[in-house]
Protein backbone atom coordinates (compact mmCIF):
# COMPACT_ATOMS: atom_id res chain seq x y z
CA UNK A 1 0.00 0.00 0.00
CA UNK A 2 1.17 3.52 -0.79
CA UNK A 3 2.70 5.15 2.32
CA UNK A 4 0.42 8.20 1.95
CA UNK A 5 -2.63 5.94 2.20
CA UNK A 6 -1.24 4.46 5.41
CA UNK A 7 -0.27 7.84 6.84
CA UNK A 8 -3.77 9.25 6.42
CA UNK A 9 -5.69 6.00 6.95
CA UNK A 10 -7.33 6.35 3.54
CA UNK A 11 -10.43 4.26 2.85
CA UNK A 12 -11.88 3.73 -0.64
CA UNK A 13 -15.53 2.72 -0.84
CA UNK A 14 -18.35 2.67 -3.36
CA UNK A 15 -19.13 1.56 -6.90
CA UNK A 16 -19.24 4.71 -9.03
CA UNK A 17 -16.69 6.44 -11.22
CA UNK A 18 -17.23 9.97 -9.90
CA UNK A 19 -14.96 10.48 -6.90
CA UNK A 20 -16.21 12.27 -3.80
CA UNK A 21 -13.77 13.02 -0.98
CA UNK A 22 -15.09 13.66 2.54
CA UNK A 23 -12.77 15.64 4.82
CA UNK A 24 -13.48 15.90 8.55
CA UNK A 25 -13.10 19.00 10.69
CA UNK A 26 -11.02 19.85 13.75
CA UNK A 27 -11.26 17.36 16.58
CA UNK A 28 -12.92 14.68 14.48
CA UNK A 29 -12.03 11.79 12.18
CA UNK A 30 -13.50 10.08 9.13
CA UNK A 31 -15.97 8.33 11.44
CA UNK A 32 -17.88 11.62 11.68
CA UNK A 33 -19.22 10.97 8.16
CA UNK A 34 -20.83 7.62 9.05
CA UNK A 35 -24.39 8.97 8.78
CA UNK A 36 -23.79 10.37 5.30
CA UNK A 37 -21.48 8.15 3.27
CA UNK A 38 -23.78 5.15 2.75
CA UNK A 39 -26.07 7.32 0.63
CA UNK A 40 -23.27 7.82 -1.90
CA UNK A 41 -21.83 4.31 -2.19
CA UNK A 42 -24.01 3.09 -5.06
CA UNK A 43 -23.24 5.98 -7.40
CA UNK A 44 -19.88 7.35 -6.30
CA UNK A 45 -16.39 6.29 -5.35
CA UNK A 46 -16.09 7.57 -1.79
CA UNK A 47 -12.71 8.53 -0.32
CA UNK A 48 -12.37 8.90 3.45
CA UNK A 49 -9.23 9.81 5.37
CA UNK A 50 -7.90 11.07 8.69
CA UNK A 51 -5.62 14.05 9.07
CA UNK A 52 -2.34 13.19 10.78
CA UNK A 53 -3.03 13.20 14.52
CA UNK A 54 -6.69 12.25 14.06
CA UNK A 55 -8.45 8.90 14.00
CA UNK A 56 -6.25 6.01 12.94
CA UNK A 57 -3.67 8.09 11.09
CA UNK A 58 0.02 7.45 11.58
CA UNK A 59 0.95 9.81 14.42
CA UNK A 60 4.64 9.16 13.84
CA UNK A 61 4.30 11.20 10.63
CA UNK A 62 3.23 14.32 12.50
CA UNK A 63 5.46 17.29 11.69
CA UNK A 64 4.92 20.26 14.00
CA UNK A 65 6.31 22.78 11.54
CA UNK A 66 4.32 21.44 8.59
CA UNK A 67 1.01 21.36 10.43
CA UNK A 68 1.41 24.78 12.04
CA UNK A 69 -0.73 26.16 9.21
CA UNK A 70 -3.64 24.83 7.18
CA UNK A 71 -1.38 24.67 4.13
CA UNK A 72 0.22 21.60 5.70
CA UNK A 73 -3.12 19.83 5.82
CA UNK A 74 -3.91 20.93 2.27
CA UNK A 75 -0.62 19.37 1.22
CA UNK A 76 -1.86 16.06 2.61
CA UNK A 77 -5.06 16.36 0.57
CA UNK A 78 -2.98 16.88 -2.56
CA UNK A 79 -0.76 13.95 -1.59
CA UNK A 80 -3.84 11.71 -1.43
CA UNK A 81 -5.10 12.98 -4.78
CA UNK A 82 -1.74 12.26 -6.40
CA UNK A 83 -1.28 8.89 -4.72
CA UNK A 84 -4.64 7.71 -6.06
CA UNK A 85 -4.35 9.63 -9.35
CA UNK A 86 -7.71 11.28 -8.74
CA UNK A 87 -9.28 13.70 -11.20
CA UNK A 88 -12.39 15.90 -11.25
CA UNK A 89 -13.18 15.19 -7.62
CA UNK A 90 -16.05 16.45 -5.52
CA UNK A 91 -14.50 17.63 -2.25
CA UNK A 92 -16.78 17.87 0.78
CA UNK A 93 -15.13 19.61 3.71
CA UNK A 94 -16.59 20.18 7.15
CA UNK A 95 -15.65 23.26 9.16
CA UNK A 96 -11.92 23.98 8.81
CA UNK A 97 -11.67 21.42 6.01
CA UNK A 98 -13.67 23.83 3.87
CA UNK A 99 -10.71 26.19 3.78
CA UNK A 100 -8.25 23.30 3.57
CA UNK A 101 -10.10 22.11 0.47
CA UNK A 102 -10.07 25.62 -0.96
CA UNK A 103 -6.30 25.89 -0.44
CA UNK A 104 -5.79 22.56 -2.20
CA UNK A 105 -8.06 23.64 -5.07
CA UNK A 106 -6.13 26.88 -5.47
CA UNK A 107 -2.90 24.92 -5.72
CA UNK A 108 -4.26 22.14 -7.95
CA UNK A 109 -7.49 23.38 -9.61
CA UNK A 110 -7.38 20.79 -12.38
CA UNK A 111 -8.04 18.01 -9.85
CA UNK A 112 -11.27 19.50 -8.51
CA UNK A 113 -14.72 19.56 -10.09
CA UNK A 114 -16.74 21.02 -7.21
CA UNK A 115 -16.31 21.97 -3.57
CA UNK A 116 -18.86 21.66 -0.78
CA UNK A 117 -18.27 23.72 2.35
CA UNK A 118 -20.18 22.61 5.47
CA UNK A 119 -20.09 25.15 8.29
CA UNK A 120 -17.14 27.07 6.82
CA UNK A 121 -15.38 30.18 8.03
CA UNK A 122 -12.57 32.05 6.26
CA UNK A 123 -11.65 33.71 9.56
CA UNK A 124 -12.93 32.94 13.07
CA UNK A 125 -11.80 36.21 14.64
CA UNK A 126 -13.92 39.35 14.37
CA UNK A 127 -12.25 42.12 12.38
CA UNK A 128 -13.69 45.62 11.90
CA UNK A 129 -16.78 45.09 9.75
CA UNK A 130 -16.31 41.31 9.61
CA UNK A 131 -18.07 39.08 12.14
CA UNK A 132 -16.29 35.77 12.54
CA UNK A 133 -17.93 34.99 15.86
CA UNK A 134 -14.91 35.16 18.18
CA UNK A 135 -12.76 37.84 19.76
CA UNK A 136 -9.12 37.41 20.77
CA UNK A 137 -10.05 36.60 24.37
CA UNK A 138 -12.39 33.82 23.24
CA UNK A 139 -9.67 32.21 21.16
CA UNK A 140 -7.05 32.44 23.88
CA UNK A 141 -9.47 30.82 26.34
CA UNK A 142 -10.01 27.94 23.92
CA UNK A 143 -6.26 27.43 23.61
CA UNK A 144 -5.86 27.45 27.40
CA UNK A 145 -8.60 24.84 27.91
CA UNK A 146 -7.16 22.55 25.22
CA UNK A 147 -3.69 22.82 26.74
CA UNK A 148 -4.97 22.15 30.27
CA UNK A 149 -7.24 19.18 29.53
CA UNK A 150 -8.33 18.53 25.95
CA UNK A 151 -10.65 15.64 26.82
CA UNK A 152 -12.49 17.60 29.52
CA UNK A 153 -12.79 20.62 27.24
CA UNK A 154 -14.12 18.57 24.33
CA UNK A 155 -16.65 16.86 26.59
CA UNK A 156 -17.98 20.25 27.63
CA UNK A 157 -17.90 21.55 24.06
CA UNK A 158 -19.71 18.67 22.33
CA UNK A 159 -23.32 19.46 23.36
CA UNK A 160 -22.78 23.19 22.78
CA UNK A 161 -21.57 22.92 19.19
CA UNK A 162 -23.95 20.08 18.36
CA UNK A 163 -26.82 22.30 19.55
CA UNK A 164 -29.43 19.55 19.47
CA UNK A 165 -30.50 19.26 23.13
CA UNK A 166 -33.41 16.94 22.30
CA UNK A 167 -30.93 14.45 20.85
CA UNK A 168 -28.26 14.07 23.57
CA UNK A 169 -26.96 10.91 21.92
CA UNK A 170 -25.57 13.07 19.11
CA UNK A 171 -23.40 14.99 21.55
CA UNK A 172 -22.21 11.67 22.96
CA UNK A 173 -21.24 10.50 19.48
CA UNK A 174 -19.46 13.78 18.82
CA UNK A 175 -17.54 13.42 22.06
CA UNK A 176 -16.32 10.02 20.85
CA UNK A 177 -15.18 11.68 17.62
CA UNK A 178 -13.32 14.36 19.57
CA UNK A 179 -11.48 11.69 21.51
CA UNK A 180 -10.13 10.35 18.21
CA UNK A 181 -7.83 13.38 18.02
CA UNK A 182 -4.52 12.97 19.78
CA UNK A 183 -4.33 15.57 22.58
CA UNK A 184 -0.68 16.20 21.78
CA UNK A 185 -1.59 17.69 18.39
CA UNK A 186 -5.02 19.15 19.21
CA UNK A 187 -3.65 22.50 20.37
CA UNK A 188 -1.51 23.00 17.27
CA UNK A 189 -4.45 22.13 15.00
CA UNK A 190 -6.68 24.52 16.96
CA UNK A 191 -4.14 27.31 16.60
CA UNK A 192 -3.79 26.69 12.87
CA UNK A 193 -7.58 26.77 12.60
CA UNK A 194 -8.56 29.74 14.74
CA UNK A 195 -5.68 32.00 13.72
CA UNK A 196 -6.26 31.47 10.00
CA UNK A 197 -7.48 34.19 7.68
CA UNK A 198 -8.24 33.23 4.09
CA UNK A 199 -10.68 35.99 3.21
CA UNK A 200 -8.38 37.41 0.55
CA UNK A 201 -8.00 34.00 -1.14
CA UNK A 202 -11.70 33.44 -1.84
CA UNK A 203 -11.73 35.62 -4.95
CA UNK A 204 -9.12 33.40 -6.58
CA UNK A 205 -11.13 30.18 -6.38
CA UNK A 206 -11.96 28.87 -9.86
CA UNK A 207 -13.88 25.77 -8.76
CA UNK A 208 -17.68 26.03 -8.27
CA UNK A 209 -18.63 25.72 -4.62
CA UNK A 210 -21.58 25.27 -2.31
CA UNK A 211 -21.76 26.68 1.21
CA UNK A 212 -24.05 24.73 3.55
CA UNK A 213 -24.85 27.00 6.49
CA UNK A 214 -26.61 25.60 9.54
CA UNK A 215 -28.88 27.68 11.73
CA UNK A 216 -27.57 28.73 15.13
CA UNK A 217 -24.01 27.63 14.48
CA UNK A 218 -21.82 29.22 17.15
CA UNK A 219 -18.62 28.10 15.44
CA UNK A 220 -19.44 29.45 11.99
CA UNK A 221 -22.15 32.12 12.07
CA UNK A 222 -24.25 33.08 9.07
CA UNK A 223 -22.11 36.19 8.63
CA UNK A 224 -19.13 33.97 7.79
CA UNK A 225 -21.11 31.95 5.26
CA UNK A 226 -22.47 35.11 3.67
CA UNK A 227 -18.96 36.55 3.40
CA UNK A 228 -17.80 33.45 1.55
CA UNK A 229 -20.82 33.61 -0.72
CA UNK A 230 -20.36 37.29 -1.58
CA UNK A 231 -16.61 37.06 -2.15
CA UNK A 232 -16.25 33.71 -3.94
CA UNK A 233 -16.95 33.27 -7.67
CA UNK A 234 -19.62 30.66 -8.45
CA UNK A 235 -20.54 30.05 -4.82
CA UNK A 236 -24.03 29.03 -3.78
CA UNK A 237 -25.23 29.52 -0.22
CA UNK A 238 -27.88 27.32 1.38
CA UNK A 239 -29.17 28.12 4.85
CA UNK A 240 -30.23 24.76 6.21
CA UNK A 241 -32.99 23.83 8.62
CA UNK A 242 -30.37 21.91 10.59
CA UNK A 243 -29.06 23.55 13.73
CA UNK A 244 -25.56 23.46 15.18
CA UNK A 245 -22.14 22.97 13.65
CA UNK A 246 -22.53 19.33 12.59
CA UNK A 247 -25.49 19.00 10.18
CA UNK A 248 -23.96 15.86 8.65
CA UNK A 249 -24.49 14.24 12.06
CA UNK A 250 -27.68 15.93 13.29
CA UNK A 251 -29.53 16.14 9.95
CA UNK A 252 -27.81 13.74 7.55
CA UNK A 253 -30.77 13.44 5.16
CA UNK A 254 -30.92 17.19 4.57
CA UNK A 255 -27.15 17.30 4.17
CA UNK A 256 -27.17 14.41 1.69
CA UNK A 257 -29.95 16.00 -0.35
CA UNK A 258 -28.21 19.36 -0.65
CA UNK A 259 -24.89 17.77 -1.64
CA UNK A 260 -26.49 15.54 -4.27
CA UNK A 261 -28.53 18.39 -5.74
CA UNK A 262 -25.37 20.47 -6.12
CA UNK A 263 -23.40 17.59 -7.64
CA UNK A 264 -26.18 16.80 -10.11
CA UNK A 265 -26.61 20.46 -11.13
CA UNK A 266 -30.24 20.51 -10.10
CA UNK A 267 -31.46 24.07 -10.59
CA UNK A 268 -30.33 25.63 -7.34
CA UNK A 269 -31.62 29.09 -8.09
CA UNK A 270 -35.22 27.91 -8.01
CA UNK A 271 -34.77 25.37 -5.24
CA UNK A 272 -35.98 27.40 -2.27
CA UNK A 273 -36.09 30.75 -0.57
CA UNK A 274 -33.16 29.84 1.65
CA UNK A 275 -30.64 29.66 -1.17
CA UNK A 276 -28.57 32.48 -2.61
CA UNK A 277 -26.66 32.20 -5.88
CA UNK A 278 -23.71 34.38 -6.81
Summarize pLDDT for 32-53 with one digit per residue, the tens. 999 999 999 999 999 999 999 9
Strand pairing category for 89-94 and 18-23: parallel
Say whether 274 is catalytic: no
Band of residue 28 on the pLDDT scale cut at 50, 70, 90: very high
Model's pTM, two decimal places? 0.94
Strand pairing category for 44-48 and 11-14: antiparallel
Domain that holds residue 251: 3-277
Report CA-CA distances (Å) from 49 to 55, 80, 97, 267: 9, 9, 12, 31
pLDDT at 266: 66
Q: Which residue of the set 32, 95, 97, 121 is catalytic?
A: 95
Number of structural domains (the chain) is: 1
The domain that holds 185 is classified in CATH as: 3.40.50.1820
Question: What is the Cα–Cα distance from 113 to 127, expressed in whole angstroms?
Answer: 32
Q: Which residue of the set 50, 76, 79, 217 is catalytic?
A: 217
Q: Decide if 159 contacts 165 (C-beta within 8 A).
A: yes
Mean pLDDT of 96-111: 98
Say whether 217 is catalytic: yes
DSSP track, 111-172 = GEEEEEEES--SBSB-BTTB--SB-HHHHHHHHHHHHHHHHHHHHHHHHHHH--TT-HHHHH
Mean pLDDT of 22-39: 96
Share the mean pLDDT of the chain.
94
pLDDT at 62: 97
Whether residue 277 has pLDDT greater than 70: no
In b/e form, how buried is each residue of 194-217, taking b as 16+ CB within 10 angstroms?
A: bebebbeebeebebbbbbbbbeeb
Q: Which residue of the set 24, 94, 229, 245 is catalytic?
A: 245
Three-state SS at 31: helix
Say whether 245 is catalytic: yes
Report CA-CA distances (Å) from 259 to 39, 204, 229: 11, 23, 16
Whether residue 184 has pLDDT greater than 90: no
Whether residue 190 has pLDDT greater than 80: yes
Question: What is the Cα–Cα distance from 226 to 156, expressed in whole angstroms?
Answer: 29
Q: Decide if 17 contacts 45 (C-beta within 8 A).
A: yes
Question: What is the Cα–Cα distance from 238 to 171, expressed in whole angstroms?
Answer: 24
Amino acid sequence: MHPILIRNNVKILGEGSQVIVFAHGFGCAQSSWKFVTDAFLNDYKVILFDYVGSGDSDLSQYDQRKYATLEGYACDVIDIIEALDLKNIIFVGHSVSSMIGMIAALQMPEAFKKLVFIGPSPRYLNDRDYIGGFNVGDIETIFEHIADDYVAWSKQLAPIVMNNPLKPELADFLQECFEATDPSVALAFAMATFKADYRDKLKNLEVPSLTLQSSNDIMAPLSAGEFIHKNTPENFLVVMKATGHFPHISEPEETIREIKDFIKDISLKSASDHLYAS
